[in-house]
Structure 1
Amino acid sequence: MEFAALMTRCGADFLKVLALPVAVGVSGGADSMALAWLTRRWGGRVLAFTVDHGLRTEAAQEARLTYERLQSCGIACRVLALEGLGTRRLQERARQHRLARLEEAAWQAGAPALLLAHHRHDQEETLWMRQQGGSDWPGLQVMAASALRGRVAVLRPLLGISPQRLRATLRQAGLPWCEDPSNHNRRFERVRVRQDLGASQRQDLHNLRDRALSEAGAEERAVAGLLAVACRWEPEGWVSLAPGPLQAGGEALAVSALRRLVRLVGGKAYPPSRQATAALLQRGGGSLGGAVLGARRGRWHLVREERGLPAVPLTDQLLWAGRWRYVAGAEPVGEARAPLLCAPLGPHVSRLKSPAPEAFVPRAALAALPGIWQGGRLVAVPAGMRGLQESGRPAVSFIWESGVPVTGARLLD
């Protein structure tokens, strides 16, 4: 009954009512094994995903063992591989890559939501680390019980439950789990925080989070109201701003709004700092976080910086630069058997712009759009973009899919 109430609280009931797949990320540790087992008892079509991160020689064996344990509980499971982690900030990068891989797998399986086993102590440790790093109120909200991320909702029903209770649940059910030795290695910051935080400190952190939720919620509502009157989203992936209304509510609110827009347009994982954003606002132009702020005829425009945009092989459902999703059409593009690349239009856009587009579109915004290239030749442009309608090239479908909500990312707390 308690777990059913937790699932209701994080908004998961629709999954069971509509008989949709319930995706669960399972590392094989006690927390995620408990979540998978509890979700199986709760009901619905549970599909577990476990990631072989390859960070230790035992990783593949542990992933296989987790697969077998879940299968024995009647839980379908798929093992996912993780590659390209590099060597710097390994634990953090592994966490980010793992989450992205789980999200993609859930979406491909038709699951609109992904359940994760973050618990009370995870929440407290993240809050401590962010507080020590000087995070602002939105950052101090830490994890939400339900939040939008990419193409799925991420649900965390166990945020109020201690890890000790989850282990007790598995012991009572007679279910084993894997222990990751890196969870006890004090070389990692999170492990040090986990081992050093006392009970009174953890309670203080909960009080701090309550205040953060209140302060950040008020800020989010104010930002949403400001953007409604000062900002216009444009279909080519850029933003038009009215500087007067943007700054009418004061610098602090304008900085909060502009940080969110820079993250949206620039495609970075996190927004720029308040200090850097305030400097950009005062200058009224410049580059920051992968975006460029310019001005024309009394309005500002925020566009994606062309620098750093990738050239990658074209595949069906490619998510290019973390922003544009390619949707393959029935008509072939380019010559048969020749490789196709997706890369920015770049300087080539000056030869493509319509002589009199129906509305102003910054050249830089068009230059940062994806094009399809073959052998150094541009063979197709994105459809529906103003300024490119008379390019003389075939048009193919790209859908904006940055997965970055400007406001409203947190559904439930």
Structure 2
Amino acid sequence: MPVNRPLDSVEARFQTAIAASGKSDQAIGLAVSGGGDSIALMQLAARFRPAGKLFAISIDHGLRPEAKDEIALVAVQAMTLGIDHAVVNWTWAGKGNLQAAAREGRWAAVRDWALMHDLRTVWFGHTEDDQVETLLMRLARGSGIDGLTAMYPMTQRDGLQVFRPLLGLSRADLRAWLTQQKITWAEDPSNEDPRFDRVRARQMFAQLETLGMTRKRLLQTVDHMQAAHLSLQEAALGFAKLHVRQDAGDLILAPAALDLGKADAPRRVMAAAFAWVGSRNYRPRFEQLLETVAQARKGATITLGGCIMTPCEAGAVRLMREAAATTSAVRLQSDAGRPLGVFWDKRWFLEGPVHDDLTFKALGSGVKECPDWRDAGVPRASLMASPSVWQGGRLIAAPLAGLSNEWSARIVADFHTSAFAIED
């Protein structure tokens, strides 16, 4: 059990945590579900940041009828605090693992909302308890150093800064503070459902404490793993700067980066390259990486994880996005109050004149409608995976292929600054 601390220390520790988060006058996004942790996040943020600079978002997954009441609670408190509050609905496609799909859907909604509102930082309400539970779950899965880092207070994801100011606070402390402040929160019954790994980890913790695996010891393990991980990431970044060149949305990997024998840096760089080009949060299995790179070194063009790897000059390889692995996005003119643009395929942001029912997708065979595409100086397959704007079956713009029509496309974060930052 967490040690009881004076309740005024909750505000003091929160204030200390956010002091390292950036300028106090920058706009901040808050992910607020209505549970005790996220309600505490919003209420504490309002005490130390100007309300006009705070923007809250709640995601309705449509999985529990109680969620609408929880979001209504957030709306009332946000209005009282003077915080702008948005609600986004998410619907499960019925495929894959529901919990994993919900996490990805939740993040996608938060990310798109933040970028459309020009927010560069989003705060989440993960606590010290979440940190311990995450470590236990990853230990059970046999994770290595990267997995056992659990959660960092500050990370980067899809070009956004993700900040967790409550990681040094326990769930019990936050609820005691809310009770003292007479602030209402909602309890999600799924937090006690043993079908979920996190709940089982929480229930197991009491027994582990009898073996000496206390909260303090587990948090020390996280600290050690994060120190080791940072050293490995720094080494990989230095290696990538020497041996990997970015060309728009492609990466050119020199021969040294293809030697995945025993050193950690080339392996880490190669895995990060596939994740970045493939717009994925997870990396391919190591065995798949080895086989793919081996085939490319022999002169083959091969696909893996939404990427195409093909040999190029002087023994290097080019890693490109696979056009067929991308999905389209629709932007309506009725999305009032947002910048003229759309975030596409997790790496690109397109800006230009918005019209009704525009579709944003990979250029694909539309490259044939771009007479100047060869002037781009990149392979045709690369341009086929580049962003384009369509209205029905008519190509409006393909900025990288020489057809702009007042549209531009930019990478949200380049490979070297994003792939080796501390990421989720």
TM surpasses 0.5? yes
Residue number in structure 2 paired with 1:368: 385
The reply to whether residue 244 of structure 1 matches residue 268 of structure 2 is no
Q: Structure 1, unaligned stretches of length 5 or more?
A: none
Structure 2 residue ranges without an equivalent (≥5): 1-7, 333-339
> How far off is 1:98 after superposition?
2.4
Q: CA deviation at 1:13?
A: 5.7
Name 2:292's counterpart in structure 1.
280
Which of 85, 92, 109 aligns to 1:85? It is 92
Aligned match for 1:27, one of 30, 33, 58: 33
Q: 1:70 to 1:248 in 2, by over 3 A?
A: closer
Does structure 1 conserve the Cα–Cα contact (< 8 Å) formed by 2:244 and 2:251?
yes
Stretch of structure 1 that moved more, 241-250 or 282-291: 241-250
Instruction: Report the secondary structure of 1:93's partner residue.
Output: helix
Partners of 1:141 and 1:204 in 2: how far apart? Answer: 14
State the partner residue of 1:307.
324
Deviations 1:349-402 (A, max 9, x none): 36746596474x2221111112333453434321xx3xx44x7x8463112226
Q: Deviations over 1:58-102 (max 9, x none)?
A: 211221123224444x35252413222234432332233223323
Farther-moved stretch of structure 1 (340-349 vs 49-58): 340-349
SS in 1 for 2:398: strand
Q: Which residue of 2 aligns with 1:49?
A: 57
The counterpart of 2:132, out of the listed 124, 145, 154, is 124
Q: Alignment identity in percent? A: 29
* DSSP-derived class of the 1:129 partner: helix
On the 8 A contact 1:286/1:293 being kept in 2, the answer is: yes
Distance 1:155 1:8 in 2: 13
Which has the higher mean CA deviation after the structures are superposed, 177-186 or 248-257? Answer: 248-257
How big is the shift at 1:38? 2.0
- Tell me the CA shift for residue 110 of structure 1: 4.8
Which SS does the other structure have where 1:307 is aligned? helix
Displacement after TM superposition at 1:143 (Å): 1.3
TM-score (norm 1): 0.84
The total of aligned residue pairs comes to: 394
Aligned residues of 2:258 and 2:266 also touching (Cα < 8 A): yes
> How do residues 360-399 of structure 1 correspond to structure 2 at under 5 angstroms?
361-382=378-399, 385=400, 388-389=401-402, 394=405, 396-399=407-410
Q: Match for 1:154 among 162, 181, 196?
A: 162
SS in 2 for 1:398: strand
The answer to whether the 8 A contact 2:61-2:91 is kept is no
Q: Secondary structure at the match of 1:78?
A: strand
Distance change in 2, residues 1:354/1:176 (3 Å): closer
Alignment-derived partner of residue 322 in structure 1: 346
The corresponding residue for 1:175 is 183
Conservation of the 8 A alpha-carbon contact between 1:124 and 1:206 = yes
**8 Å CA contact retained: 1:50, 1:77:** no
Give 1:128 shift: 1.8
Q: Provide the C-alpha distance between the structure 2 equivalents of 1:324 and 1:127, rounded to a whole number of angstroms.
A: 33
How high is the TM-score relative to the length of structure 2? 0.82
One-letter amino acid matched to 2:398? V
Residues 127 and 50 of structure 1: CA distance in aligned 2, closer, same or farther (over 3 Å): same
Contact kept? 1:256, 1:274, Cα under 8 Å: no
Distance 2:41 2:33 in 1: 11
| CA deviation string 1:139-169 (max 9, x = no partner) | 2212111112235322111112111111111
Quickly say closer, same or farther: Cα 1:159–1:287, change in 2 above 3 A.
same
Q: C-alpha displacement at 1:309, in angstroms? A: 2.2
Give the Cα separation in 1 of the matches to 2:381 and 2:342.
23
**Which residue does 2:279 correspond to in 1?**
267
| Residue type at the aligned position of 1:302 | L
- How many angstroms does 1:204 deviate by? 4.3
